[in-house]
Chains A and B, each alone.
Chain A
């Protein structure tokens, strides 16, 4: 008899598929039994996805959303990491700005939408700014805590080999903190994907968020609304999956305990 802790290979796929099928069935029969005219059944949604996929606008929307995330998240990485290294390295600088960071951090990026529109007007820049804000804080905080938890032994070794402060940050502190920075960046990417949809509902007229709100506004096409939601979920999952692949790179794998 097999132990319960080790499901067989086929069981690892079989039961999740069964659970998914049951959920779809529940959804389908709920729509049938309630006789709703508004909410789509899974079959309607499937047709909706096919309809969207046959239109060029879907691919343009996906491209626009991904581009905004790439720029906003990219800016957060490029600005957040050096800033985080600096704050982590200088306790004085960190103490000075930490209260402000801690105050700004819990504010949802959604709350910044009116401010973003004042700064940048309605358009791409406002959306990118919101994504940048949403991803900056997780990266910054992970970076500061990553730097302060670098073992003193690594810094001492680096200093012993005659490194300047800049070299020490680049060649010892950054790689030593990188596993923790990656965890922060992964959280930030997840937030960026949440924020882009919200921002596109208000600040721009393209992208997946706009697709959701537009499908509702132009004729209450809830089949397309749910189809767009599913596409958002699938792309978010794919982004996270790709990012997790980074954790397998050998120069950071040491920092992830359960990685083999």
Chain B
């Protein structure tokens, strides 16, 4: 029931995030280098959107522009109708690796954005997110004592702790080994389903996109334009050997321009 209401509200009201005619041109040694061209995209509240595209196409640039770390050359990004002019604690960017602060413990990292809360609220919030990302027992450990997967969970916990509306994830599992990566996808889905945030997730992994996203946005090679937006009409948990899954994956491979056979 609650979910139906959310869906209805999502469909009728303005989108959570809207990119309009977004363009980014870099200046490389005095030469104009267009990276993004006329990107138009609406993302609904608590939607999970993946951005995929060939390497170097500008996926991360698009994410950085949406997160406010990069001013667009033309067009705009609006969140809740407001034009994005800079980074904001209401939307947190999770980096591929080395994003956690090595001089702080797990608790210190999770509590990093919570200095405005009272001590009691802060420790309660930290305890909650330690549990959410399953780092119990490591509260006082430093990142150097954690595995790569644990560090990424810690980064997600630090982001979630400030209660953001939107999480931007920039290939967050890209530096992990393939087994850990699969486990982390399950963890992220579990967190997303309980916490219900809007997630915009950059990946170069097609399987990752089909396993996670409500919609997959396919970007062309540079200058990136939106080539296709593919809706993944499968409920979670997704059977990754079902015909529908394989069909969607093949469709995505085709969109990116890859052959069916290696």
Provide the residues of chain B in CB contact with A219, threshold 8 Å.
none
Which A residues touch B98, using CB under 8 A? 151, 153
Q: Which residues of A contact B257 (CB under 8 A)?
A: none
Are B142 and A250 neighbours in the complex by a CB distance under 8 Å? yes
Among listed B15-23, B101-109, B118-126, B204-212, interface-contacting one: B101-109
Query: How many of B's residues come within 8 Å of A, CB to CB?
Result: 21
Which residues does chain A contribute within 8 Å of B162, judged by CB atoms?
161
Residue contact A160 to B102, C-beta cutoff 8 Å: no
A254 adjacent to B113 (CB under 8 Å): no
Given A160-B87, A160-B92, A161-B89, do A254 and B142 touch, yes or no (CB 8 Å)? yes
A232 CB to nearest B CB, Å:
35
Name the interface residues of A153-180: CB closer than 8 Å to any CB of B.
153-154, 156-157, 159-162, 171-172, 175-176, 178
Question: CB of B72 within 8 A of chain A?
Answer: no
A162 and B101 contacting across the interface, CB-CB below 8 Å:
no
Structural contact, A254 and B93, CB atoms closer than 8 A: no
- Which residues of the partner chain B approach A160 to less than 8 Å between Cβ atoms? 67, 69, 87-89, 92-93
Q: Give bound CA distance, A127 to B240, whole Å.
A: 75
- Asked if B93 contacts A252 (CB within 8 A), the reply is no
Select one of A156, A159, A254 contacting B103, CB under 8 A.
A254
Is B172's CB within 8 Å of the partner chain A? no
Q: B89 and A254: CB pair below 8 A?
A: no
Interface SS, A side: helix
User: What is the predominant secondary structure among interface residues of chain B facing chain A?
Assistant: loop
In the assembly, what is the distance between CA of A251 and CA of B140, in Å? 11
Q: Give the shortest distance, in Å, between A12 (CB) and chain B (any CB).
A: 27
CB nearest neighbor in A for B88:
A162
B139-178 vs A, CB cutoff 8 Å, 1 = contact: the mask equals 0001110000000000000000010000000000000000
CB distance from A250 to the nearest CB of B (A): 6
- Number of A interface residues in the complex (CB < 8 A): 20
CA distance A176 to B93 in the complex (A): 19
A221 at the interface (CB under 8 A from B): no
In the bound complex, do residue B95 and residue A252 qualify as a contact, i.e. CB atoms below 8 Å apart?
Answer: no
List, in ascending order, chain A residues with CB within 8 A of B69's CB.
156, 159-160
Determine whether the beta carbon of A254 is less than 8 Å from that of B143: yes
**Least Cβ–Cβ distance between B104 and chain A, in angstroms:** 7
Contact A175–B112 (Cβ < 8 Å):
no
Q: Is A175 a contact of B95 with CB atoms below 8 Å?
A: no
CB–CB B89/A251 < 8 A:
no
In the complex, whether A253 has a CB less than 8 A from a CB of chain B is yes
Interchain CA distance A159-B112 in the complex, whole Å: 12
- Chain B residues within an 8 Å CB radius of A171: 112
CB of B101 within 8 A of CB of A175, answer: yes
Nearest A residue to B114 by beta-carbon distance? A161
- B99 CB within 8 Å of chain A: yes
Cβ of B67 to closest chain A Cβ, rounded Å: 7
B89 contacts A154, C-beta separation under 8 Å: no
B93 and A156: CB pair below 8 A? yes
Please list the residues of chain B having a beta carbon within 8 angstroms of any beta carbon in chain A.
67, 69, 86-89, 92-93, 95, 98-99, 101-104, 112-113, 142-144, 162
Q: List the 7 closest A-B pairs by CB distance, nearest first.
A: A161-B113, A254-B102, A175-B103, A162-B89, A251-B103, A160-B87, A254-B144
13 pairs across A/B with beta carbons < 8 Å?
A: A151-B98, A153-B95, A154-B101, A157-B101, A159-B69, A160-B88, A161-B113, A161-B162, A162-B89, A162-B113, A251-B104, A254-B102, A255-B102
